[in-house]
Amino acid sequence: MADSPVISDDQLASIREALLEERAGLLAQVADLDAEADVNYWRESGFDDDPADAGSASFERETAQSLSNHARGLLTQIGDALRRMDAGSYGLCERCGKPIDIARLEALPYALLCLDCKRRDETGR
């Protein structure tokens, strides 16, 4: 069992809980952001009359859209992490298959790569 992740069941359970919590928060965020990204949201608040307002409304909409996309990306990663937990492959580096450091997982529960591979990624080597 040398290659199995060095994560206890308790740690796994608390990481899963953190992931579920973050997912719930993100889902609420996405719902809010999508409402803001909807042009009707701003029309209804009377933002259309003044050109300056319309400009800032479209800026707000774009911001909401990009935040929403970002949150969706995180949701995908969280979903993947939860799937890997169910499959029993959670905590193993996607590239080299070695266990990912528990401290790293606690800081970034949906990390796919171990620190070594991540560093290699970032330095482009």
- List residues near Zn ion by CB under 5 A: 93, 95-96, 114, 117
Q: In the bound complex, what is the minimum distance in angstroms from residue 38's beta carbon to Zn ion?
A: 41
Compare residues 67 and 112 and give the one whose CB is closer to Zn ion. 112
Give the phi and the psi of residue 103 in degrees, each rounded to 5.
-65, -40
CA distance 41 to 75: 24
Compare residues 106 and 116 and give the one whose CB is closer to Zn ion. 116
Compare residues 68 and 91 and give the one whose CB is closer to Zn ion. 91
Compare residues 6 and 39 and give the one whose CB is closer to Zn ion. 6
Q: In the bound complex, what is the minimum distance in angstroms from residue 122's beta carbon to Zn ion?
A: 13
CA distance 91 to 4: 9
- Helix, coil or strand: residue 27: helix
- Helix, coil or strand: residue 12: helix
Q: In the bound complex, what is the minimum distance in angstroms from residue 1's beta carbon to Zn ion?
A: 19
Residue 84: what residue type? R
- Helix, coil or strand: residue 99: strand
Q: In the bound complex, what is the minimum distance in angstroms from residue 15's beta carbon to Zn ion?
A: 18
Q: Return the residue matching tokens 């800081």.
A: 107
Residues 6+ apart with CB under 8 A from 41: 35
